[in-house]
């Protein structure tokens, strides 16, 4: 485990910067992780993606498919990649406080 420091706040994270304890997550934590990735301000679109991912994880125990993210938020794929330059997994899921997904991400 490592510690990630943002704006004077410190979080326990894994070696990839995902929260060690997903349950300490709240909107302030989301804003700080996003800031760490270079997202200066979370827009409405950012929140729509993050809140849906968080809700899906709380209900089903996993990140949603990108198809569901597009359909629920009404955003185009390429827009999602622009909003989260690290992609839906290492970008959006991390901001949503999920543990790191398995596989090539």
Partner 1 sequence: MNGLSAQKLKALQLLTQPKDSQLISHVNSCVHCGLCAESCMYYVATNDERFVPALKVDLLSTIYQRYSTVTGKFLPRLVKARELDDATIQEMVDLFFGSCTLCGRCTLHCSIGVDITYLVRVGRAMLASMGFVPATLQSTVNAALQTGNNMAIPTEDFTSTLSWLEDELRNEVQDPQASIPLNQPDVNVLYTLNPREPRFFPLSISAMAKIFYAAKESWTLSTFMYDVTNYAYFSCNLEEAVKIAERLFNETTNLRAKRCVLAECGHGSRAFRWEAPNYLQKLFSFDTLTSVELLAEYIREGRIKVDKDKNQETVTLHDPCNLVREGGIVDEQRYVLNHTTTTFVEMTPHGLDNLCCGGGGGQLSMSEYGDRRMKIGELKAEQIRKTGAATVVTPCHNCVDQLIQINNRFKLGVNIKTLAEIVADALVLDQPAVTPSPTQKA
Q: Six-digit token pair at 9?
A: 């706040």
Q: What does the block give as tokens for 96?
A: 């949503």
Using the minimum distance from each CB to partner 1, give the nearer residue, 88 or 97: 88
Q: How far is the CB of 52 from partner 1 (least distance, A)?
A: 14
Distance CA(105)–CA(101), nearest Å, equals: 7
DSSP state of 84: S
Looking at 21, 55, 65, 82, which residue binds partner 1 (CB under 8 A)?
65
> At its nearest, how many Å lie between partner 1 and the CB of residue 62?
7
Which residues are tagged catalytic? Answer: 104
């Amino acid at each position: 485990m490592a510690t990630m420091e943002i704006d004077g706040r410190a979080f326990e994270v894994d070696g990839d910067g995902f929260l060690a304890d997903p349950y300490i997550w709240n909107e302030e934590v989301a804003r700080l992780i996003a800031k760490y990735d270079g997202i200066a301000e979370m827009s409405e679109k950012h929140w729509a993606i993050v809140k849906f991912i968080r809700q899906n994880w709380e209900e089903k125990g996993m990140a949603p498919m990108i198809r569901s993210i597009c359909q629920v938020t009404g955003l185009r794929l390429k827009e999602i990649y622009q909003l989260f330059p690290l992609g839906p997994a290492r970008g959006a899921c991390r901001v949503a406080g999920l543990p790191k997904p398995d596989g090539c991400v």
